[in-house]
Amino acid sequence: MPRSATPVGERPFQIDPSTGSPVTELERLCRLLARASLFNGLACEDIARFARGVREVRVARGEILFHRGDPCLGFHLILDGQIKLAFTSAEGNEKVVDILYAGRSFGEAVMFMDKPYVVMAQALTDATLLHIGKQVFFEEMSGDPVFCRKIIAGLAQRLHLLMADVESYSLRSGRDRVVGYLLREEEREGDGVSEGAVSLRLPTSKGTIASRLNLTQEHFSRILNELTSAGLIQVEGRTIHIPDIGRLRRSLG
């Protein structure tokens, strides 16, 4: 089971390694919240009010954060690590909906609808998250229209990404989906170069990535082999070498 930290106010002072000064648990959580784009622009006192409903959660690789059907009591913000959201069947089949990284949040939609979770969440790596309780969140939202608009904008962006996924699954070939994924990964972890050689490391297993792209693992591996034969990539375990990323980008249909 995920390990929750002791509630705010019950933990001792800690030492800030950058200054050597003691900080309270509330101050520490406020600093963590302030790093998230969702809370950018909020005054310190506003963030402190949100922090009253926050608990820190640590999960080890492979641990389940929640199952489909579990009650949603708030939403999660990833501080470090990777989290997989997936549909599962009684037969053990799985469809990966998303792979989330540090800085991303999830669970807001079902929290607003007051519904149980419709997917399961599992740690792909050791991960640390903040859980923001919905009661405090709703109380603070009600008096801040600017913050409400940020929440709506975030949900709208996810709807846009969902529609892009549907378009990709419906209209794009498996090859284009894989190339598009490699380009997005390079942009996420690289420096955004437009030409030349780059390398990237797949963040998780090929099976998980294949499911995210609505492909079988065999089809995903076959496409990697085709791209290798075309001289567009070189595969070394989970490391992908791209001799010319501009050429790979131009290969998209």
Residue 81: what pLDDT? Answer: 96
Last residue of a domain, one of 169, 202, 236: 169
Percent of the residues in the chain that have a pLDDT greater than 90, as a whole number = 56
Which one has a higher pLDDT value, 126 or 161? 126
Percent of the residues in the chain that have a pLDDT greater than 70, as a whole number = 89
pTM for this prediction: 0.79
CATH number for the domain harbouring residue 240: 1.10.10.10
Instruction: Report the number of distinct structural domains present in the chain.
Output: 2
Domain that holds residue 22: 3-169
DSSP assignment string, 81-107: S-EEEEEE-TTS-EEEEEEE-TT-EE-
126: closest CA among 105, 97, 94, 102? 102
Spatial distance between the Cα atoms of 75 and 73, rounded to a whole number of angstroms: 7
CB atoms < 10 A from the CB of 206, how many?
16
Residue 7: what pLDDT? Answer: 42
Residue 143: what pLDDT? Answer: 81
Q: Are residues 128 and 100 part of one domain?
A: yes
CATH number for the domain harbouring residue 151: 2.60.120.10
